């Protein structure tokens, strides 16, 4: 795992989980199934009661990356990057 991967995984705040789920049009139960956890856990992440642990952060990262949701390392939606691909 690269340093960029570790940095990206550390950025999962409650609003990030909410935005990812909403952008995918998934229920909490459906996102839970994708990352291999319970609906209750997704709810706890979204309210800030708990935070995703290491493997869950990695799985959220992979789901976000595969869906084109955003560049998890910078937390910017892909359409907000200049054409050269560098962060704005």
Q: How far apart are CA 75 and CA 46, in angstroms?
A: 16
pLDDT grade, residue 23 (50/70/90)?
A: very high
Most confident of 7-11, 12-16, 26-30, 60-64: 26-30
CATH number among 3.90.79.10, 1.10.1060.10, 1.10.260.40, 3.20.20.140, domain 3-71: 1.10.260.40
Please answer whether residues 67 and 59 qualify as being in contact, where contact means their C-beta atoms are separated by less than 8 angstroms. no
Q: Which backbone phi and psi does 76 adopt, to 5 degrees?
A: -100, 135
Q: What percent of the chain has pLDDT over 70?
A: 67
Flag whether pLDDT at 15 surpasses 90: yes
List all residues 6 or more positions away from 42 whose beta carbon is below 8 Å from its beta carbon: 17, 21, 28, 29, 31, 32, 35
């Amino acid at each position: 795992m690269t340093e960029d991967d570790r940095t990206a995984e550390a950025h999962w705040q409650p609003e990030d989980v909410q935005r990812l789920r909403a952008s995918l049009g998934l229920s909490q139960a459906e996102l839970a199934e994708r990352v291999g956890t319970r609906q209750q856990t997704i709810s706890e992440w979204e309210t800030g009661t708990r935070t995703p642990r290491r493997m869950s952060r990695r799985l959220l990262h992979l789901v976000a990356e595969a869906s084109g949701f955003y560049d998890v390392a910078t937390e910017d939606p892909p359409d907000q990057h200049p054409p050269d691909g560098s962060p704005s």
